[in-house]
Amino acid sequence: MSAADQIARVKAILLTLLLASCVQAQTKTELFRAGEGGYAIYRIPGVVVSAKGTVLAYCEARKSASDWGEIDILLRRSTDGGRTWDAPARVAEMPADAKRNAYAPKKGPVSDVAITLNNPVAIADRDGAVHLLYCVEYAHCFYRRSDDDGVTFSPPVEITAAFEPFRAAHDWKVLATGPGHGIQLRSGRLLVPVWLSLGSGNGHGESRVATIYSDDAGKTWRAGEVLPTTEGLDSPNETIAAELSDGRVMLNIRHVGKQPMFRGVTTGPSGIGDWAPVRFDRALPEPICMASLVSLGGRRLLFSNPHNATTRDQKNLTIKLSEDDGETWTAARTMEPGPSA
């Protein structure tokens, strides 16, 4: 066994032990508290760790509970492994010419005045950069880059043109990145799951999922293939990605439908198409909520979501460990039994 393999094995063992003891040893720090900072609630969180070890936590800071209300995107930084944190900083800008999406819901006190920022997604590049994508009014997508661990970001660049090729498969009226985090593949490719909606219902209805990607360190972005329709995978939307041990990319998909439901899972060779038939993972109940997926290296994955197999209540935040690229889940620990969106 090479020295690199030995180090990887030790890391995997330590991470497994950490998962096994997390309930007893966990320390909680509230980074964003509802009702503080001038915001009613904080939603749609994400966390990445830069190449230098800086922890970046970000979310939507909402003036109301509405997905379509007045929202800022905030970021907090920790340079000591999460012990202390910088004050929240806004990292998304509202364009001067921003307009209300014509497919936004017409009901509610914010529907006629608010223009929203939404769905932050970050990628921590192995070369040291931090890439940030976010959306404006579920209609436009923007990109920023940080080369100082999230202290400052480049001016926003609109990359909505990357979504135009999707229209041939799904003539979207609403778009969104992630949410959560994107990934960098071993090839260097930057990959971000996205979802596309026809704008029915609450503005998010009749949706499909796909990925966008960059092969030049974020300078340009392109569209992958829209995931084919699958029976039982109704209006797939918020999706997460991880690179598996053999280089395939796994998508783990939120969707809607009748209970009981389970997360949809597919894989593709490059993360941008040739998707395998979707399967439903009965170890991963779906209460219709955002989830997260992280590769630990080797064949190990961590998955988290509100584990609730009987209702759609978003509660019982649970972390699960797979040691075979997500085929089975060998350990699970509850991190928060209460409401956990």
Return the CATH number at 324.
Answer: 2.120.10.10
Identify the helix (H) or strand (E) that includes residue 320: strand 315-322
User: Of the candidates 181, 183, 264, which has an alpha carbon nearest to the alpha carbon of residue 227?
Assistant: 264
In a domain, 40, yes or no: no
pTM, 2 dp? 0.91
Report if residue 219 sits inside a domain: yes
Average pLDDT over residues 60-71: 94
Using the 8-state DSSP alphabet, how is residue 149 labeled?
Answer: T
Q: 73: which strand partners?
A: 60
The torsion defined by the Cα of 310, 315, 320 and 325, in degrees rounded to 10, comes to 70
Total domains present in the chain: 1
Choice between 110 and 145, residue whose per-residue pLDDT is larger: 145
- What confidence tier does 20 reach under pLDDT thresholds 50, 70, 90? very low
Domain assignment of residue 9, yes or no: no
Distance, CA of 130 to CA of 81 (rounded, Å): 17
pLDDT at 14: 42
Assign 5 a pLDDT band (cuts: 50, 70, 90): low
In a domain, residue 222? The reply is yes
Question: Could you tell me if residue 254 is inside a domain?
Answer: yes
Full residue range of the structural domain in which residue 250 is found: 93-339
pLDDT at position 27: 79
In a domain? residue 12: no
In sequence order, what are the beta bridge partners of 234?
256
- Does some domain include residue 114? yes
Q: Looking at the domain assignment, is residue 56 inside a domain? A: no
pLDDT digits (tens, 9 = 90+) for 261-287: 999 999 999 999 999 999 999 999 999
- What distance in Å separates the CA atoms of residue 62 and residue 340, rounded to the nearest whole number? 17
